[in-house]
């Protein structure tokens, strides 16, 4: 069949969508196979077959800019899906959606293995479930929305509430604890963010065990749409062939959905809810279901998801959240009040927050913390109108402890040290539980609230409080 696929001609160009006509006697290239445009530009233009328009014409998605492409240009059919390099050769490298090197370094060895980007999720009987808690060192996450090794977690938040900073902090926090391979997919990332991450990883010495895959914001929708599949293919190779644990980080999955919506409109499909593509659920599922643990190795996914207009009922947000084990909601209100990380303790959840998984003590402390913070939230309108003095004695005590707990759950990050001047803190789960328990039991009732703000462990807050009292006495 491949022998019959020789050359076609471009007959229409609509942005990222290109129609190619083949001789009627030839077999049409299969859907999801790659085509190479034979033009006079130095940069290779690759198309991916999306559909068969008629018996002689296919409709394809361009993975690079089509500026300068004209009708009549020859197109070569490969007869195979787009394939990207995998294996140890790509560790420490920055790749684009096609697997080309983007770090100005040496070319990959000629014998580097390649794998097609389209794959099937593991069979249900081959998947393995894990209940081993994945400690991040971030207090509020470890306490209220614990991650599991081999699970999927997503951080949802609007613009400017700290999603990318939190992803970068998790990378830092896991360098010492995590001994597997890291694959980072930058989907719709700004060039500045990509350069910052590249520089930080190289400086911190984790780059040699990391692969960076970028489909940048300035690239056409085809590149942003397929970049997560490129990253997933590399992760699957280390999981299946090397039996190595993989940490898969994606920032930002919403841009993947957005790229699919752009392509859908260019293809002329009728939009679905809120203007999204009618294939939204199946596109998200095709990606998320491939993120699974199998063959004795785990793929742990941490994904950042932009929430348009802070609307958590947006169809893209709900489609992505339905696949997650842990959901971390970022709050604009908490960010405005200066609580970082701005994780909403009541909106965040985890399927792993179960006494059979995390233990009775962790579950009990988390439930007590949630109850106190929920009651504090219920009373905020009354406090704003009448003042805290009008509350009953029991409610005043709850408010006092909830405010101190809220401040204790903030912490300085290593990635923000250069901007804030405050050294970052990574806190062990045992210290987090001990600190929260002490605050809820009233140990910090007489402390000033500022002593608990932006600290690591409770011992550090205790020293801060002692220093403040000594200064006041002097």
Which pLDDT belongs to residue 467?
87
Pick from 155, 169, 89: nearest CA to 301: 155
* 163 is known as an active-site residue: yes
Contact by Cβ (8 Å): 58, 19: yes
Pick from 196, 199, 194: nearest CA to 213: 194
Sheet of 246-251, strands arranged across: 94-96, 210-215, 181-187, 246-251, 299-306, 152-157, 326-329, 349-350
DSSP code of 222? Answer: H
Which pLDDT belongs to residue 474?
57
pLDDT band at 1 (very low <50, low <70, confident <90, very high): very low
Beta pairing partners, 301: 152, 248
Confidence check: pLDDT of 457 > 90: yes
Mean per-residue pLDDT for 194-202? 83
Average pLDDT over all residues of the chain:
91
| Sheet strands (E) in 269-413 | 299-306, 326-329, 349-350
Residue 446 tokens read as: 């007489």
Which pLDDT belongs to residue 236?
94
Confidence check: pLDDT of 343 > 90: yes
Q: How far apart are CA 34 and CA 45, in angstroms?
A: 10
* 190 is known as an active-site residue: yes
Model pLDDT for residues 409-452, shown as the tens digit of each residue: 999 998 888 788 888 899 999 999 999 999 999 999 999 999 99
Residue 234 tokens read as: 């590399």
Beta pairing partners, 187: 215
Which pLDDT belongs to residue 220?
93
Contact by Cβ (8 Å): 20, 35: yes
Confidence check: pLDDT of 193 > 90: no
pLDDT band at 175 (very low <50, low <70, confident <90, very high): low
Bigger pLDDT: 84 vs 415 = 84
Model pLDDT for residues 209-256, shown as the tens digit of each residue: 899 999 999 999 999 999 999 999 999 999 999 998 899 999 889 999
Which pLDDT belongs to residue 3?
47
Model pLDDT for residues 2-48, shown as the tens digit of each residue: 444 578 999 999 999 999 999 877 789 999 999 999 999 988 999 99
Which pLDDT belongs to residue 108?
94
Contact by Cβ (8 Å): 151, 129: no
End-to-end CA gap in the chain: 88
Contact by Cβ (8 Å): 186, 194: yes
The reply to whether omega before 341 is within 30° of 0 (cis) is: yes
Predicted TM-score (pTM) of this structure: 0.91
Which pLDDT belongs to residue 2?
43
Confidence check: pLDDT of 364 > 70: yes
pLDDT band at 298 (very low <50, low <70, confident <90, very high): confident
Q: How far apart are CA 207 and CA 200, in angstroms?
A: 9
Confidence check: pLDDT of 83 > 90: yes
Contacts of 24 (CB under 8 A, 6+ apart): 55, 56
Pick from 292, 284, 362: nearest CA to 122: 292
Beta pairing partners, 10: 20
Catalytic, out of 6, 14, 41, 190: 190
Which pLDDT belongs to residue 174?
67
Model pLDDT for residues 98-143, shown as the tens digit of each residue: 999 988 889 999 999 999 999 999 888 888 876 788 889 999 999 9
The reply to whether omega before 345 is within 30° of 0 (cis) is: no
Q: How far apart are CA 305 and CA 256, in angstroms?
A: 10
Model pLDDT for residues 389-413, shown as the tens digit of each residue: 889 999 999 999 999 999 999 999 9
**Lowest pLDDT segment from 75-79, 196-200, 202-206, 360-364:** 202-206
Which pLDDT belongs to residue 416?
83
Catalytic, out of 59, 64, 152, 163: 163
Which pLDDT belongs to residue 186?
94
Sign of CA dihedral 117, 123, 124, 130: negative
Residue 325's CB is within 10 A of a number of other CB atoms, namely 19
pLDDT band at 168 (very low <50, low <70, confident <90, very high): confident
Catalytic, out of 169, 189, 219, 262: 189
Q: How far apart are CA 334 and CA 225, in angstroms?
A: 32
Mean per-residue pLDDT for 282-306? 91
């Amino acid at each position: 069949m491949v022998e019959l696929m020789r050359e076609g001609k471009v007959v229409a160009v609509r942005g990222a969508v290109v129609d190619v006509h083949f001789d009627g006697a030839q077999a049409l290239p299969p859907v999801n196979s790659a085509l190479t445009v034979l033009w006079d530009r130095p940069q290779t233009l690759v198309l991916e077959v999306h559909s068969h328009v008629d018996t002689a014409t296919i409709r394809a998605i361009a993975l690079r800019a089509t500026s300068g492409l004209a009708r009549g240009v020859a197109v070569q059919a490969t007869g195979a899906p787009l394939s990207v390099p995998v294996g140890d050769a790509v560790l420490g490298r920055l790749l684009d959606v096609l697997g080309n090197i983007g770090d100005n370094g040496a070319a990959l060895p000629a014998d580097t293995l390649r794998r097609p980007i389209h794959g099937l999720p593991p069979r249900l009987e081959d998947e393995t479930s894990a209940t081993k808690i994945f400690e991040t060192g971030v207090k509020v996450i470890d306490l209220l929305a614990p991650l599991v090794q081999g699970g999927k977690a997503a951080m949802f938040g609007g613009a400017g509430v700290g999603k990318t900073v939190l992803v970068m902090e998790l990378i830092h926090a896991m360098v010492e604890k995590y001994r597997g391979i890291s694959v980072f997919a930058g989907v719709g990332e700004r060039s500045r963010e990509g350069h910052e991450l590249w520089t930080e990883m190289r400086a911190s010495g984790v780059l040699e065990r990391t692969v960076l895959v970028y489909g940048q914001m300035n690239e056409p929708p085809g590149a942003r749409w397929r970049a997560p599949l490129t990253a997933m293919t590399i992760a699957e190779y280390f999981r299946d062939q090397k039996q190595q644990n993989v940490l898969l980080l994606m920032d930002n999955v919403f841009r993947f959905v957005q790229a699919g919506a752009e392509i859908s409109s260019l293809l002329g499909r009728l939009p679905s809810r809120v203007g999204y593509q009618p294939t939204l659920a199946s596109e998200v599922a095709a990606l998320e279901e491939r993120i699974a643990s199998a063959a004795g190795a785990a793929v742990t996914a941490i994904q950042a998801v932009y929430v348009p207009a802070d609307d958590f009922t947006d169809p893209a947000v709900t489609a992505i959240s339905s696949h997650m084990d842990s959901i971390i909601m970022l709050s604009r209100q908490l960010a405005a009040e200066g609580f970082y990380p701005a994780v909403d303790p009541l909106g965040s959840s985890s399927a792993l927050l179960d006494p059979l998984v995390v233990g009775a003590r962790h579950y009990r402390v988390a439930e007590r913390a949630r109850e106190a913070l929920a009651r504090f939230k219920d009373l905020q309108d009354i406090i704003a109108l009448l003042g805290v003095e009008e509350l009953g004695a029991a409610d005043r005590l709850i408010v006092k402890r909830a405010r101190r707990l809220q401040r204790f759950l903030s912490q300085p990050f290593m990635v923000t040290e250069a901007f804030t001047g405050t050294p970052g803190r990574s806190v062990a789960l045992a210290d987090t539980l001990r600190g929260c328990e002490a605050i809820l039991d009233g140990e910090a009732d007489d402390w000033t609230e500022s002593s608990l703000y932006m600290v690591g462990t409770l011992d550090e807050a205790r020293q801060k409080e002692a220093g403040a009292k000594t200064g006041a006495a002097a």
